[in-house]
Amino acid sequence: MPTINEVHPKPERPETIIQFGEGGFLRGFADWMLQKLNDSGCYTGSVVVVQPIAHGMCDKLVAQNCVYTHIMRGMDDGAPVIRKDIVDVISRCVNPYTDYAAFLALAKEPSFRFIISNTTEAGIVYEPFDAISDAPPKSFPAKLTALLYERFQAGLPGFILLPCELIERNGDKLRKIVLQYASEWALGDAFTEWIATQNHFCNTLVDRIVTGYPKEEDMGLPYEDAMCDTSEVFHLWVIEGDQTLARELPFSDVGLNVLWTDDLNRYRTRKVRILNGAHTSLVPYAMLRGFDTVKACVDDPDMLAFLRRCIFDEIIPTLDLPKEELRSYAEDVLARFANPYIKHYLSSIALNSVSKFRVRVLPSILTYIERFGKMPPTLLKAFAALLQFYKTDMANDDPDVMTFLKKADVPAALANADLWGQDLSFLTDEVMRYANSSH
């Protein structure tokens, strides 16, 4: 059988977008949207992918000329919907760990206008030991600062930055860390001014369940595609920024669900607490019990009851949006989880579960306690399962995080403010109770 690149020649387009991240999510979300834009004729541009970590999938992507299939599957009014698109908008990949000069050279190409990123919740962080002389620095913001400094020195205009990491005010936080590096590295007031005035760090929210490579499924493709990507049909991208910027990437003109707004907090809180919070609460609890997919969990009465208690009893009561809107959104989320075409492996959601729990679930726990003066039992049961999960070999996180949690008892784990943003020792008795009864 031929490979996908043998049957699909890739057109040449100007390189306009730098993308930090080659994983399934961006390829099944932003890159798929950019493909739609290019196919419509209202935009012409391609993506250069930067591998943000030392061990990634760029080699596999390059092996098939950065062309892959994206398959969307779901239900529409009770009828099955399957849509297949070939995505060829990625022109090439750059690995800064093997060719740092090629990475910095991107800054000197005038055609680049956008930077998109998805480095998970653990990606937009400040690493105190990163230096401008590193090749490359460890953190994504430090790599970005080095790239921006090269751009500045080349006398070129800045970028529109669209970070897709699921942290609150992701654009604001990314800009803050970049400015911190600029100051600590003594790159000069003129560079700081250029960052502030010539670059647009947009806060964004992304919403699509992307399930990645279809393991153990025959997609019926007439070619080999080792980077085939799957997702649900639903998609939403909310971007907070100047409406004039929307014209540069006119997604809505081609029917894509992309909203530019002055305030995305309403959308973010609802999605991160309910959809992502449900995922992150579920994964360790379910994997410790032998479940492997989200669909298997919602098909199981006990696991579905656990999910519904998390969402309807303990998460929704902490949110201030209209309750009917929240309940309706939550029911839609559970329907998306039950999509018969989606095999969303719990192991793929489990990456960096600690930072995800801190962002997605812990705010619900703390708000529940503050608002009702009592503990949320189901979310704390999920917390206990998370800590137990890190005692196993199923966890996939920063090596330092995994080493610490594998050895730490519950009191020590909860007292580690570096993990949770604060000392959570006041939860020890309750979490211990569920940890001791979790088997």
Calpha distance 366→421 (Å, rounded): 12
Calpha distance 417→307 (Å, rounded): 27
Residues 239 and 276 placed together within one structural domain of the fold = no
Please say which residue of 261, 282, 312 terminates a domain.
261
CATH code of the domain in which 39 resides: 3.40.50.720
Closest CA relative to residue 2, chosen from 252, 224, 264:
224
Residues 227 and 317 placed together within one structural domain of the fold = no
- Say if residues 195 and 233 touch (Cβ distance below 8 Å): no
Please say which residue of 202, 237, 261 terminates a domain.
261
Residues 36 and 106 placed together within one structural domain of the fold = yes
pLDDT band at residue 282 using 50, 70 and 90 as cut-offs: very high
Residues 318 and 421 placed together within one structural domain of the fold = yes
Backbone phi and psi for residue 46, each to the nearest 5 degrees, phi listed first: -125, 170
Residues 134 and 218 placed together within one structural domain of the fold = yes
Residues 228 and 293 placed together within one structural domain of the fold = no
Q: Which two tokens stand for residue 385?
A: 């399962």
pLDDT, tens digit, 9 for 90 and up, residues 55-100? 999 999 999 999 999 999 998 777 889 999 999 999 999 999 999 9
Note if the bond before 2 is cis, omega within 30 degrees. Answer: no
Please report the pLDDT score of residue 236 as a whole number: 93
Residues 305 and 239 placed together within one structural domain of the fold = no
Residues 50 and 194 placed together within one structural domain of the fold = yes
Please report the pLDDT score of residue 437 as a whole number: 64
**Mean pLDDT for all residues in the chain:** 95
The two most distant CA atoms of the chain are separated, in Å, by 63
Residues 243 and 129 placed together within one structural domain of the fold = yes
pTM for the full predicted model: 0.80
Residues 29 and 175 placed together within one structural domain of the fold = yes
pLDDT at 207 over 80: yes
CATH code of the domain in which 426 resides: 1.10.1040.10
Please say which residue of 211, 237, 261 terminates a domain.
261
Put residue 78 in one of left, alpha, beta given phi > 0 → left and psi -120 to 50 → alpha.
Answer: left
pLDDT at 409 over 90: yes
pLDDT band at residue 439 using 50, 70 and 90 as cut-offs: very low
pLDDT, tens digit, 9 for 90 and up, residues 296-346? 999 999 999 999 999 999 999 999 989 999 999 999 999 999 999 888 899
Residues 59 and 111 placed together within one structural domain of the fold = yes
Domain that holds residue 379: 265-436
Residues 117 and 226 placed together within one structural domain of the fold = yes
Number of domains in the chain: 2
pLDDT band at residue 242 using 50, 70 and 90 as cut-offs: confident
SS3 content of the chain, % helix, strand, coil (to 5): 50, 15, 35
pLDDT band at residue 438 using 50, 70 and 90 as cut-offs: very low
Q: Where are the alpha helices (DSSP H) in 350-389?
A: 353-360, 362-372, 377-389
Calpha distance 97→138 (Å, rounded): 10
Q: Which two tokens stand for residue 287?
A: 């994997």
Mean per-residue pLDDT for 42-55? 96
